[in-house]
A and B are shown apart, each in its own frame.
Chain A
Amino acid sequence: MKSTGAAKAKSAGKKTGNEPQYRLRLYVAGQTPRSLQALSNLKRICEEHLAGNYRVEVIDLLQKPQLAAGDQILAIPTLVRSIPAPARRIIGDLSNVERVLVGLDLLRAG
């Protein structure tokens, strides 16, 4: 992740021409080890499970603090799945893959 500012759009995978089915926003506050950890965990999980069908936006609240209220961000890092609805949020460094998948509705709990 770069610290050039603002919201950084990042997409990966095949360009199908269609909008990706999954839109994710990762909220961080500066480049803390935990944030970096979360981002790398996220990348790995997405590549593994959503390859070509996702877009991740990283929002650094140190740069854009006014964006925190909109998504009701409290905890850092927070991953928000804005699409598909309903919105889901996962907080923490995303180190538990199974829980992230459950949180994103990619896996049924239990």
Chain B
Amino acid sequence: MPKAPTGIPGFDEITFGGLPKGRPTLVCGGAGCGKTLFGIEFLVRGATQFGEPGVLLSFEESAQDLVVNVASLGFDLAKLQRTKKLAIDHIYIDKSEIAETGEYDLEGLFIRLNGAIESVGAKRVLLDTPEALFAGLSDVGILRSELRRLFRWLKDKGVTAVITGERGEGTLTRHGLEEYVSDCVILLDHRVQNDAVTRRLRVLKYRGSTHGTDEYPFLIDQKGISVLPVTSLGLTHGVSRERISSGVPVLDEMLGGWGYYRGSSIMVTGTAGTGKTSLAAHFVDAACRRGERAMYFAFEESPGQITRNMKSVGIHLDRWIKKGLLHIDSARPSAFGLEMHLVRMHGLLDQHRPSAVAIDPITGLAAGASEHDTAVMVLRIVDFIKSRGATGFFTALAAEDDLQSTSLSISSLVDTWLLLRNIEVNGERNRLMYILKSRGMAHSNQMREFLLTDKGVKLQNVYLGAGTVLTGSARLAQEAEDRREEIRRRQEDRRRELALRASLAAVDAKIAALHAEKQTVEKELTETAAEGAARRKAASGDQDELKRSRGGN
């Protein structure tokens, strides 16, 4: 199905290309939901970005009012009118001025619309909102059949039309426009929860096309509407093999030796006072040391508080602020709605263009909004940071009893997840840190004791022995005990060695004695043999002498 791109960031992604080309689309929602703006942005971007002029047929606001209203969003309707890229006609009806007598049709409306379309060669039309006709004319039967005819006529004309409608009680639009416009229906919503405003958009229906079915939050900021789809999540981001330091050497060591991946998302969860902020400060500090720009969003402390507190643990952030490398932005979570937070953060990230972004704590955003809303927003922030190739560092406050629960369902999104926890034993509280996961690197499975020193975070090997993990003074005591034990063992060894050496010497002495004895015996043996031989020789000599003396033979 051919589509007409709206140019509204995010919207064309969730509809896989935009609105159905050459067909009408109904955009409905309550008062102030942004439906008129949606339509106007569709026209303006069509005219400026896609070479498709448009017609705005307004049933409510006058052309002048519209021009003024959207000027704040950077839409210059007057200029578009001058350059023949936009025609605006204001349809005004006042029931009190009109008497009805007998049959009529709305051919006048058709003629005006047609004239406007032809005057600029329009490919796009916005009708905002034809429901106003119901207030001006009393013959509902005629109105309905004429509206049906109008939408069919628009289709025959081949213009891509947006028709807005005010949400009714239990119906999409007060006067059932959805009956006539059935190709594509978009619902805009505008909710206030705990004083925070959240806008959402949903594609209710899109005949002949797949579309995202979720409710997507959207923003209206100084650049118009932007829908925040989550569809592109993590799948299209460029991946870096470059590694960057966490700012804590031992932690880098634990992360396969080199620290985090550039462009990855890191989350650290922990209960109150476990040192999450210090880790975040190390992270931005390390980025600034590399000469990169960093951004720190703080939801609990002011910039002054953070720099002072971090100085006490040896992290000097103020010098980076002075150099213009680091920007700390503090805002109360309840200061504005989630949507506005997101807008602000987008804006600041655009302005500052950091390569490292810390949000401390990301759970701070949850104040004043439902869990689901926050999760969705957080997803989008994380995604946004990731999509810009920046490395994101998020701290999350966890409940004492369930460390992994406040992950705001972004745990699947983060690449590296560090856990900090307190251990209370023997009247003291110590911190432990371990790596819950870290994608794409061989990482340590060891717990480390996490110490905050005046030179920053230190990670200490914990005492691992006899099946227990000991930290703090228990670890120190155990280590001292181990040392004493070691000395005792060494002395014992020495003693045994001496004893063994002594017995070895004794054996050697014995061997020497036996050896001497052996030599004596051998000597004796040789002498005995020699004596025997001499004797036998002497005897034989005697007999020969005897024979000769007897004169015989």
Contacts and interface: CB of A to CB of B under 8 A. Distances in A.
Contacts of A87: 97
A61 B107 contact: yes
Contacts of A36: none
B91 A75 contact: no
B99 A90 contact: yes
Nearest first, the 9 closest Cβ-Cβ pairs linking A and B are: A103-B99, A92-B102, A93-B102, A95-B102, A73-B108, A76-B107, A99-B101, A96-B101, A29-B107
Given A74-B109, A95-B103, 7 more contacts: A37-B102, A69-B89, A74-B133, A91-B98, A92-B102, A93-B102, A99-B100
Contacts of B111: 29, 61-62, 65, 68, 73
B137 interface: yes
Contacts of A89: 97-99
Contact of A29 (B89, B92, B103, B108): B108
B99 A68 contact: no
A72 B102 contact: no
A74 B108 contact: yes
A91 B104 contact: yes
A65 to B, nearest CB: 4
A46 interface: no
A73 B112 CA distance: 8
21 contacts: A34-B103, A37-B102, A68-B112, A68-B115, A69-B112, A72-B91, A75-B106, A75-B137, A78-B108, A90-B100, A91-B98, A91-B100, A91-B104, A92-B101, A92-B103, A94-B102, A95-B103, A96-B101, A96-B102, A99-B99, A99-B100
B106 A76 contact: yes
Interface in B261-280: none
Nearest to B139: A92
A88 interface: yes
Contact of A76 (B89, B93, B100, B108): B108
Interface in B108-132: 108-109, 111-112, 114-115
B214 to A, nearest CB: 39
Interface string A10-51: 000000000000000001010000100110000000000000
Contacts of A34: 103-105
Interface string A49-92: 00000000000011001101100111111100000001111111
Contact of B93 (A74, A93, A103): A74
Nearest to A100: B101
A102 interface: yes
Interface of A: 27, 29, 34, 37-38, 61-62, 65-66, 68-69, 72-78, 86-96, 99-100, 102-103
Nearest to A35: B107
Contacts of A72: 91-93
B104 A92 contact: yes
A34 B102 CA distance: 10
Contacts of A96: 101-102
B115 A65 contact: yes
Nearest to A27: B108
Q: Which of B92, B93, B101, B105 has the most CB of A within 10 A?
A: B101
A75 B99 contact: no
Contact of B91 (A37, A74, A103): A74
B115 A76 contact: no
A85 to B, nearest CB: 12
B466 to A, nearest CB: 91
Given A74-B91, A74-B93, A88 B108 contact: no
A80 B84 CA distance: 31
A80 B106 CA distance: 16
Contacts of A66: 115
Contacts of B93: 72, 74
Contacts of A75: 104-109, 137
Nearest to B110: A29
A88 B97 CA distance: 6
A68 B99 CA distance: 18
Contacts of B115: 65-66, 68-69
Contacts of A92: 100-104
A87 B92 CA distance: 14
B56 to A, nearest CB: 13
A27 B98 CA distance: 14
A62 B106 CA distance: 13
B439 to A, nearest CB: 62
Name the residue among A74, A76, A88, A90 with the largest chain B CB count within 10 angstroms. Answer: A74
B101 A93 contact: yes
Nearest to A87: B97
A106 to B, nearest CB: 12
Contacts of B102: 37-38, 92-96
Given A75-B137, A91-B98, A65 B103 contact: no
Nearest to B92: A72
Nearest to B97: A89
A92 B112 CA distance: 18
A65 B111 CA distance: 6
Nearest to B115: A65
B99 to A, nearest CB: 3
Contacts of B114: 65
Nearest to A89: B98
Contact of B106 (A38, A74, A95): A74
A76 B92 contact: no
A91 B101 contact: yes
Nearest to B133: A74
Contacts of B103: 34, 92-93, 95
Given A75-B137, A92-B103, A96-B102, A68 B108 contact: yes
Contacts of A86: 97
Nearest to A75: B104
